[in-house]
Chain A
Amino acid sequence: MFKRRRKEVPGLNTTSTADISFMLLVFFLVTSSMDTDKGLPRQLPPPEDNTQEEEVEIKERNVLELELDANDRLTLNGEPADYDELTRRVAEFVANKNDDSSLPEKSDREVHLFGRIRVSDRHVITVKTNRNTTYNAYFEMQNAIVKGYYQLRNELAKRQFGHSYARCSQEQRDAIALVYPQRISEAMPVEEEGGEE
């Protein structure tokens, strides 16, 4: 009944595929933003309980006081300083290599991957800002502090593991963070009529 005819399957005309994919390509080129978000990661302390406010007495040698005033001037323990100096001072302060009695105390601790090691877990860097301090100055200061810590951590990584901190595994990083923990305490910015416009 049906006569089977051998039919040629017509070839799909694919000339326009290139055009279509070009269109898609252009669309993605236009909408894409290649910029990967970069930033300075920070950990906020959990909200404090107002009910049990305890004043922790910290020895003077353990504290490095930073202050940014309304005109973005940085002072370090009351003396004016710039950001490079801040980096240097932070590294010196946290490490306290020669066990200077004016620099922070350290304690002996058992740390994974290191064994018994001197740990700088008593120091505190306090940061004071003014409500009129610009964010840029604050950021530069944070950056300088992190840089100081990074130098120390990098040094330690090289000594202990033979490669830089950037190439450490998560486990190694965690261990290093125990030796040089970042202890930064920030106060709410003060409102003061210090800044002339």
Chain B
Amino acid sequence: MMNRYFERNSGEREVTGLNMSSLPDLIFTVLFFFMIVTHMRDVDLKVNYEVPQGTELQKLEHKGSIVSIYVGRLQSGNGDFAIQLNNEVATVDDIKDFLAEERSRMTHEDQARMTVSIKADRDVPMGMIADIKHALQQDFALKISYSATEKGNNVTKN
């Protein structure tokens, strides 16, 4: 401290400017990282849902082959349970058309491994889930996944 005080007083030393030339590169690196890991939220949620917690979960791979069905309480209105496909609230009967549309958008590879991720609220009655499952079954969308979050105090899988 003494030393610094001393130097300042002597006055002659110029503060060297920080070399900023590599800053854009650094930021670009971070930027690319985020561009790669990110996937845009492409739906506006019309329903509120809180997925259950589990311990035996698996990550869903191949983003392109995942189709999501949301089931939860309507944000507007009386808070009834409803199904959301894409951006609008729908009924079980719409699932068939929805799947056909999603399938036409996919590549052949993705069509074969298409997985339907059911994002449903904890309190949804099973009747509704069963109807959805039945509709999926009729349309040969047989790979499904019950979306969930990892339980906090889970046993580590060794």
Residues of A within 8 A of B (CB): 14, 17-18, 21-22, 24-25, 28-29, 31-34, 36-47, 68, 129-136, 138-140, 142-143, 146-147, 150, 164, 166, 188-189, 191
Contacts and interface: CB of A to CB of B under 8 A. Distances in A.
Contact of B145 (A28, A36, A39, A138): A39
A142 B146 contact: yes
Contacts, number: 155
B108 interface: no
Contact of A132 (B24, B125, B146): B125
Interface of B: 20-21, 23-24, 27-28, 30-31, 34-35, 37-41, 52, 54-60, 66, 68, 71, 115, 117-118, 120-127, 129-130, 133-134, 136-138, 140-150, 157-158
Chain B binding surface, main DSSP class: mixed
Given A38-B147, A41-B143, A143 B54 contact: yes
Nearest to B146: A40
Interface residue SS majority, chain A: mixed
A40 B158 contact: no
Contact of A32 (B37, B66, B120, B144): B37
B145 A32 contact: no
